[in-house]
Amino acid sequence: MNQTDQKTILVGVTDIFFYTKVRDALMSKGYRIERARTQQDIAEKASVTIPSAFILNMNDETLNAFQTLETLTADARLKTIPILAFANHEEVDTFNRARALGVTKIVSRNEFSARLKDLVEEILAAGVRGKG
């Protein structure tokens, strides 16, 4: 099962309450959500079912989002999958570094919460990383 699953989104978020909010919002749109809590989780889940998109919390210390981005861009099968990332709005360095590592779109945590479904549709429509 190594082709992209058009309805699966891999979510790199360790906060269970935030994850539940993301899952509920996206499941209502017909997406299947896979939660990844560690680097190994992301690598394993991404290789079993190549997701149609990744969602990544850049402020998640447990996950180490920057290392995750490097892992994703190093894997030829995964490097074209769009990534929606979010971070605290005042962290300009995080935004710049995430863009440099190839996220499709990075937004503030507030915008992410308010526009989650639209943002996912936008990155899936863009379909290619490195535009945002």
Q: What is the pLDDT of residues 95-125, one digit of tens each?
A: 999 999 999 999 999 999 999 999 999 999 8
How confident is the model at residue 132, as a pLDDT? Answer: 41
Does domain 4-126 fall under CATH 3.40.50.2300? My reply is yes
Which tokens sit at 16?
């269970």
- Output the pTM of the full model: 0.88
Q: CA dihedral defined by 29, 45, 65, 79, rounded to 10 degrees? A: -90
Strand duo 50-57 + 4-12: pairing: parallel
The residue assigned the tokens 């943002």 is 119
From residue 99, give the alpha-carbon distance in Å to each of 1, 64, 83: 30, 16, 10
| DSSP string computed for 45-66 | HHHHSEEEEEEEETT-TTTTHH
Which tens digits make up the pLDDT trace of 6-42?
Answer: 689 999 998 899 899 999 999 998 999 999 988 888 8
Q: What is the spatial distance between Cα 27 and Cα 93, in angstroms, rounded to a whole number?
A: 32
- Rounded to 5 degrees, what angle do the CA atoms 108, 84, 124 make? 135
Integer Rg of the chain from CA: 13
User: Around Cβ 45, how many Cβ atoms within 10 Å?
Assistant: 18
Task: pLDDT band for 127, please (50, 70, 90 cuts).
Answer: low
How confident is the model at residue 5, as a pLDDT? Answer: 54
